[in-house]
Amino acid sequence: MTEDQHWANRFSPKTRLEIAGNERAVGQLRAWIESWERGIPKQRAVFLYGPPGVGKTCSVVALANDLDFDLLEVNASDHRTGRKLDTFIGRSTQQRITITGRRRMILFDELEGVSGQKDRGGISTIASIIKETKIPIILIATSVGERWEEKFRPIVTLSLLIEYHPVPFGELLRRLTAITEELGIDVDEDVMELLADRSQGDLRSTINDLEAITRGRERVTMADCEGLGKRDRKDYTPDALMKMFSAKTLLEARRIISSTHINYDTLFDWIYENLPLVLDDPGDLVEGMDALARADIHQTRGRRSQDYRLLKYMFNDMTGGVALSRRNSKGTGLMAEVRRKVAELGFPPSAFTVTEAPDGIRIRPVRYLKDDWGRVNAVFRSRGAQWVRGGGCWLLPYFRPPQLVWRYRRTWHSRRRRQSIAEAVAKKCHISTKEAVTEVIPLMKVMFQDDPGMVEEISGWLKLEKKETDWLKN
Amino acid sequence: MSGGMWAEKYRPQTLDNMWNQTEIVSRLKNFVKERNLPHLLFVGPAGVGKTTSILALARDLYGSAYRSYILELNASDERGIDVIREKVKNFARTAAIASDVPFKILIMDEADSLTSAAQHALRRTMEIYTRTCRFCLIGNYSENIIEPIQSRCSVFRFGPLGESDMKRWIKTIAEKESVKLIEEGVDAIYEAAKGDLRKATNLLQAAAATQGGKVDDIAIYSVLGRVSPGKVRQMINLGLKGEFLEAREVLRTLLIDEGLAAEDIIRMIYSEVLRLGIPERQKVALSDTIGEIDYRLTQGARPEIQLSALVARLALAGEEIDR
């Protein structure tokens, strides 16, 4: 292994234990491969699908390694016609072991690359290979775009389907931390949180980003992240929300489910985030929040009973239920919030002109803010506003992305610290970590903030690290 | 002994040092004298001496090396009954060596939070290792402990601490720590902590930190305003005023930044709502909503969504009061 390899390859897992996330999928895959020891299973192929960069190919390679299989990798897009595939692969699927006596299996990667009418033959050839094979066949496709699964129908019906999910945020962070430690680079925690957040569960792209900003540096701060480019936000979600909130019928409101590209969980969060800005009448707000809370119940039930028919009730409540609650609201929630923030900042209302634009509210300072600009900017930014360069104003979009997930992610290190303190307290005080978090840590924070003497005594007693002590003091 | 949390610093170390629960303590002393004990079940409210008693008993029984003869588990921190069984197995399968007592003691705190299926599994484990290991199960309510376990244990019911006992102890600690504790301060601590000695001691220590060693009722209230119940009150008041967005911010702080469990937040909301200066009929209506949301949370609904729906309802209640 050479130093100048791409990091994404250099740090790819060599064994099952190194795979990040997707434990369930990898477990299923392993069980299926092992089932071949008891003869040819009912499904002779597995079909692995999921978003890019979550470890589909890596897990196959790592398992082949662990279970000592000879892996024949076929990049499907290299053999586009049925006949070529058949001659190349067909024969090898009839021999269970290689000449050196190792068991073998075949991996068809990047099946999504097989596209268009011309390749139909390719898919059906793979299907006939599956029907005859005497060795395990693994198929991989990245699930992108709509209706991607349709063209794979001939092989999907013959295969065991295993879905891969985005790598969890904490797992991404752990991986990034491990890499930076191995390389001895000092990367700020908020940089890692930013990288993990941008990637939306794509480990490969996270590592690529890390490589891009850290190559040639020994210490990386937020300032180095400027060049990363804006995150790919699906900017039409706000438009869809605008339509949904002004819908007059259930059907109209529900259209948002199919009209946006984001999944319904994320859509739910968008609606929840923005609902109080639209429903500014207390009665409307109660109704709207009730509808959303019931939508949440329908989803919980659907998930628990594995009965996804129940999801339609969730959709109705979260779209129609919310939109039709709007009866007395004036839609001035956002304006009111801006005025409140201005007052909280200690400015008279006349210090800013606030106008409505098609994409949001423009907040223009009447005079130069000078030293106050940073302070004001921080407050507006925390509400989702952006300073328009050259425009001399902030633009606060009518709909803002969900803060919930963002907030969980941005506080990841802080919450980990709280947990490790809680564990120390729990052990020393003979209580549960939950009780430590609820009952003891809040009081400890008071002690740490107000009495330097106690800080020393207690952190020594609990053997806290400096970062933990600082967390309690903050 | 120096430093640390006062609640630990002043935890009685031996049964002789226990100054409350005298009935129970004298029975426990008999076990020490006989060098034998049954499985134990300690039930009672928080901060009255359940864990202290068993730790003191262990120290009296095994001497200063008692730590190698006990295993403390907290049911709420263990991931499932299988993990618990594994830990119990590893601990209990070896007999206590280098001691004249042939068994070790496994202390299982918050045992009443285990599901009844988990408790049945635990009961079997208790039976298997009964020769080499005694179990001391601790919980708040005996109703939540299954019958078969109750019948295999000696049950000890720890009563709440009386007002005068509690105040006396708080004053003793204050004196030893040279805290100038005013009578109003003592009353305020008792009002907030009731019979929970750990809570009272922690509160005293925090208040002592804020005022450089002088504690009155104002100091106590200012500390209380800075911890979770104070923030819950702040959230409720914002909700009543119709400041839903601000109230939701506070809710997020509680859930995410402070890491409170939804069930704790809802418990605090409930006790605050009962104390609010709102019409009684409103209290009944809000209590009904809280009950519904409490149930939904036990069914796995998302805490922030459900609690937000509750906060929205506060705005409506607040508006009706204004009229």
Output the average pLDDT for chain B. 90
Q: Which residue of B has its CA nearest to A431?
A: B74
Rg (CA), chain B: 23
Q: Mean pLDDT, consecutive 10-residue segments, chain A of 474 residues?
A: 68 75 89 89 90 87 88 71 65 72 85 61 81 90 63 82 86 88 84 79 85 81 66 60 90 83 83 92 94 96 82 92 93 83 88 85 87 86 79 86 78 89 94 92 92 90 92 89
Query: In sequence order, what are the residues at sequence separation of 6 or more whose Cβ sits closer than 8 angstroms to the Cβ of residue A177?
Result: A192
Cβ–Cβ below 8 Å for A411 and B256: yes
Tell me the average pLDDT across B30-47. Answer: 93
Among candidate residues A93, A7, A22, A96, the one with its CA nearest the CA of residue A57: A22
Give the DSSP per-residue string, B39-88: EEEEE--TTSSHHHHHHHHHHHHHGGGGGGGEEEEEGGGS-HHHHHHHHH
Give the DSSP per-residue string, A37-66: GGS--S--EEEEEESTTSSHHHHHHHHHHH
For residue range A191-202, what is the model confidence (pLDDT) as tens digits? 888 788 777 788
Query: If you search the block for the tokens 């590209």, which residue do you land on?
Result: A261
Name residues 215-234 of chain B within 8 A of A (Cβ): 223, 226-228
Residue B311 belongs to what H/E stretch? helix B303-322
pLDDT of residue B288: 95
Q: Six-digit token pair at A128?
A: 């006939």
Q: Which residue of A has its CA nearest to B312?
A: A286
Residue A443 belongs to what H/E stretch? helix A441-450
Nearest to B227 among A443, A450, A461 (CB): A443
Count A/B contacts: CB-CB distance under 8 Å.
Answer: 152
Burial A1-23 (b: 16+ CB within 10 A, else e): eeeeeebbebbbbeebeebbbbe
Cβ–Cβ under 8 Å, residues B107 and B70:
yes
pLDDT of residue A238: 81
* Weakest-pLDDT range from A283-287, A383-387, B113-117, B121-125: A383-387
Show me where the domains of chain B are located: 6-157, 163-226, 228-322
Parallel, antiparallel or unpaired: strands A352-357 and A360-365: antiparallel
Give the DSSP per-residue string, A102-150: -EEEEEEE-GGG--SGGGHHHHHHHHHHHHH-SS-EEEEEE--STTTTG
* Record: fold of A7-163: Rossmann fold (3.40.50)
pLDDT of residue B163: 92
Residue B276 has pLDDT above 80, yes or no: yes
Residue B42 has pLDDT above 90, yes or no: yes
Helix, strand, coil % (nearest 5) of chain A? Answer: 60, 10, 30
pLDDT of residue A195: 82
Among candidate residues A179, A245, A240, A239, the one with its CA nearest the CA of residue A213: A179
- CATH number belonging to the domain at B228-322, selected among 3.30.70.890, 1.10.1040.10, 3.30.70.360, 1.20.272.10: 1.20.272.10
ipTM over 0.90: no
Q: Which CATH class is domain B163-226?
A: mainly alpha
Strands (E), chain B: 39-43, 70-74, 104-109, 133-139, 153-157, 180-181, 214-215
Q: Which CATH class is domain B6-157?
A: alpha beta
Tell me the average pLDDT across B260-267. Answer: 90
Cβ–Cβ below 8 Å for A447 and B264: no
Query: In sequence order, what are the residues at sequence separation of 6 or more whose Cβ sits closer than 8 angstroms to the Cβ of residue A416?
Result: none
* Record: fold of A333-402: Gyrase A; domain 2 (3.30.1360)
pLDDT of residue A429: 93
Name residues 250-309 of chain A within 8 A of B (Cβ): 272, 276-277, 282-283, 285-286, 288-290, 292-293, 296-297, 300, 303-304
Name residues 403-422 of chain A within 8 A of B (Cβ): 403-404, 407-408, 411, 414-415, 418-419
For the domain bounded by A169-228, which CATH number is listed? 1.10.8.60
Residue B1 has pLDDT above 70, yes or no: no
